A and B are shown apart, each in its own frame.
Chain A
Amino acid sequence: MASSSSGPRHERDVNGLRTVAVDRGVVGTAGALLAAAATVLGPFVVLRPNRVLPGVAVRALAVGGGRGWWLLGGWLVLAALSAGGVLAARARARSFARWGRWAAVARGLGASALAAAALEAAGARAASFAALEGPLARTSLGGSFYVMLFGAYLVLFSAAGPGEARLGKTVAWIAPLVATGGLLVSGRLSQLAVLREYANIREAFWGAFGQHVMYTAGATGVAVVLGVLLGVWSARRRRAESAVFGVLNVAQVLPTLAFIGLLMPLMSWMGENVAVARAAGVGGIGWAPVFVVLVAYALYPITRNVYSAIRGLDSGVVDAAKGMGMNSRQRLWSVELPLALPVVLAGVRIALVQTTAGAIIAALVGGGGLGRIVFYGLEQTAEDLVLVGVLPIVALGLSLDIAVRGLEGILASAGSDAQDAQGKAAA
């Protein structure tokens, strides 16, 4: 799959910058207009006296307290601001660059504030409904709420997409997090169905969350150790290469549930006949088959990246290390692996995201994790309970993705600085 392309926008000429600014403005305008339409049309929240009864849909304009009208006005202002940015970028090639950055910051702040206001409006409606109907009442977020959120995302993207100024990016990432966190802490959202379901299972939730993190960390950890070994081995031996990737490819292709299913007889045999395995709790049901499958899936991106990073090294670098009298092991530890690190990290990142999503399956074979909540919610056809399981998985995957991407960026720039320094020293 293609990875995100953060082209060197800043190296382009003013015209290129202007086109990007126009495109971004168009995305921002479209997003704000979409969100504005979502305040007028469609179910913003769905009110149910309890989980089972059919719900009543409420439009955003009708949530009460005039909140819907404020939202509509806010989104229209933001749309006008974005559209103004488009016109300005078309008209004034040079000076827009100076204040275009501030316009991006304003768009980012505005979209975050409006998304938070939408959440608050839904929370307020939930609170008044709960006051009326009692503790069984369920106020779910409706389709047009999610459409509005997507609109807000488009506006944020227009302020913080690849190549935008760092200030705009920082604001667009931090503002929504701060706003959502603040609302959650303030308790204004506590009557929304997702949070009511969470409150009912708070302890089980954190237990499941811990198990999920253990799957992600444990499986990726084992896969990093094995993947580096296999990657280095196959980079150095042609025969190893085709065997290693042949096996890893088969593992990659097997359907998750079928893979687990094929391991179950093996694992239950081990649990019954191998003392060490029994002591570790290995069995056909439980964590063991899932863990093996997650490691097998995570091995592929890590091994492939180790392999191609070492293979792709400049032969001059390796020759220089040989010329300095380094033996094969010294070269590996002090030259090849450090230089390969950014690429290896990209593999680890893919493995982390994949494992976080994949560990949901564990619950199907009694292995716990957040999947338990998802499947429990599915049995009850309680969408909000499903969300209690799904949202943390997505949040965990995204945070790991962003964190490791950041680390890759730091390492890559450190690497190029070191090369620059070397270049200067040589001159």
Chain B
Amino acid sequence: MTAGVRYVRDRIAAVILTAVLGWMLADPDGLGRVLHLVFPDERVVLYERQTLTQMFVDHVTVAAAASGVALVIGGVLGAVLLTPLGRRFEDLVVTIADFGQTFPSVAVIALVVPAMGYGWEPVVLALVIYSILPIMLNIVAGVTSVPYDVVDAARGMGLSARQRFWHVQLPLAMPVIMGGIKNMLIINVSAATLGALVGAGGLGVPIMAGIGSFNNALVVEGALPAALLALIIDQVL
């Protein structure tokens, strides 16, 4: 399959997924009828205490807030790591980041909550902590992946170090950096479903309610939009 065909296919998939998600949010009655058809035994098929739209907005807010803060902090720290002095401590940061990978994101939430109490704040904090290192490392990996010859050619053309960074290294590093941002967004959308455990709301609320009452319709009401959201981010970015 050529890259062009794949691009078109991904865009079409993204449009379809977005349309389904939009319909779920815009037409609760229709969604209820469909869930009744699929789960005829369940009396309740939609979560009753909050609308799906409210929970979706909560979910996106938590994920977006955490991603935004992590992007700013990770970006600054990544820039520090790119300075000649920072480069000398890169292997330390990589080692710590590898260690961080063995830590489940739920565990970070579970450890922050006893200190901060229930609510969205501990979830955002946990997600920020969890996202900073990957963002940082992707910036460094992106910039260092730019071939030396290219940078050298730019130097030969008389570009200063700053110009080389802004006009050559950074643009060429963007695909890797964007890949890191995409990964972070997907991880945060996923981890935000766990916010329901600690009172942060979001699409995990109906999932957990459904699990607690053995009601698969509620589980699907939360799981489907969360899955669609992650898939759309994956297709669009």
Contacts and interface: CB of A to CB of B under 8 A. Distances in A.
Nearest to B226: A258
Interface residues of B, number: 58
A221 interface: no
B104 A393 contact: yes
Given A249-B234, A255-B193, A257-B204, A265 B220 contact: yes
B85 to A, nearest CB: 9
B112 to A, nearest CB: 10
Of the candidates A242, A249, A393, the one having the most CB atoms from chain B within 10 angstroms of its own CB is: A393
Contacts of A5: 90-91, 94
A27 B219 contact: no
B137 interface: yes
A382 B113 CA distance: 10
Given A253-B231, A255-B190, A284-B214, A393 B107 contact: yes
Contacts of B234: 249, 253
Nearest to A243: B1
A394 interface: yes
Given A261-B219, A262-B223, A357-B103, A1 B137 contact: yes
Interface string B71-111: 00000000000000000111110110111011110110011
Contact of A394 (B92, B103, B190, B207): B103
B201 interface: no
B198 A357 contact: no
Interface residues of A, number: 58
B226 A360 contact: no
A142 to B, nearest CB: 11
Secondary structure dominating the interface of A: helix
Contact of A261 (B97, B99, B197, B220): B220
Contacts of A3: 94, 98
A170 interface: no
B124 interface: no
B61 interface: no
A416 B115 CA distance: 51
A256 B91 contact: no
A268 B107 contact: no
B160 to A, nearest CB: 25
A356 to B, nearest CB: 7
Interface string A21-47: 001000100000000000000000000
A285 B230 contact: no
Contacts of B194: 257
Nearest to B144: A2
A254 interface: yes
Contact of B39 (A7, A265, A360, A366): A265
Contacts of B204: 257
Interface stretch (A63-71, A311-319, A323-331, A370-378): A370-378
A74 to B, nearest CB: 23
B95 A258 contact: no
A19 B198 CA distance: 47
Secondary structure dominating the interface of B: helix
B123 interface: no
Given A268-B216, A360-B107, A1 B134 contact: yes
B211 interface: yes
B214 A27 contact: no
Contacts of B114: 378, 381-383, 386
Contacts of B137: 1-2
Contacts of A394: 102-103, 107
A235 to B, nearest CB: 17
Interface string B34-45: 000011000000
A387 interface: yes
Of the candidates B194, B198, B203, B223, the one having the most CB atoms from chain A within 10 angstroms of its own CB is: B223
B110 A375 contact: yes
Contact of A285 (B89, B97, B214, B227): B214
Nearest to B105: A357
Contacts of A261: 207, 210-211, 219-220, 222-223
Interface string A382-411: 110011011001100110010000000000
A262 B224 CA distance: 7
A23 B113 CA distance: 37
A138 B223 CA distance: 39
Contacts of A209: none
Of the candidates B197, B222, B227, B234, the one having the most CB atoms from chain A within 10 angstroms of its own CB is: B227
A378 B198 contact: yes
A397 B226 contact: no
A264 interface: yes
A75 to B, nearest CB: 19
A162 interface: yes
A321 interface: no
Nearest to A9: B91
A5 B6 CA distance: 33
B104 A357 contact: yes
B95 A361 contact: no
B178 interface: no
Given A258-B222, A386-B114, A371 B88 contact: no
For the complex of A and B, the 7 pairs showing the least CB-CB separation, nearest first, are A261-B223, A255-B190, A397-B102, A258-B226, A357-B104, A383-B114, A258-B223
Given A357-B107, A383-B114, 4 more contacts: A258-B190, A258-B224, A360-B104, A393-B102
15 contacts: A2-B138, A6-B91, A27-B89, A161-B95, A162-B91, A253-B230, A253-B234, A255-B226, A257-B207, A257-B223, A258-B224, A261-B220, A375-B110, A381-B113, A389-B110
Interface of A: 1-7, 19, 23, 27, 154, 157, 161-162, 242, 249-250, 253-262, 264-265, 268, 284-285, 353, 356-358, 360-361, 364-366, 371, 374-375, 377-378, 381-383, 386-387, 389-390, 393-394, 397-398, 401
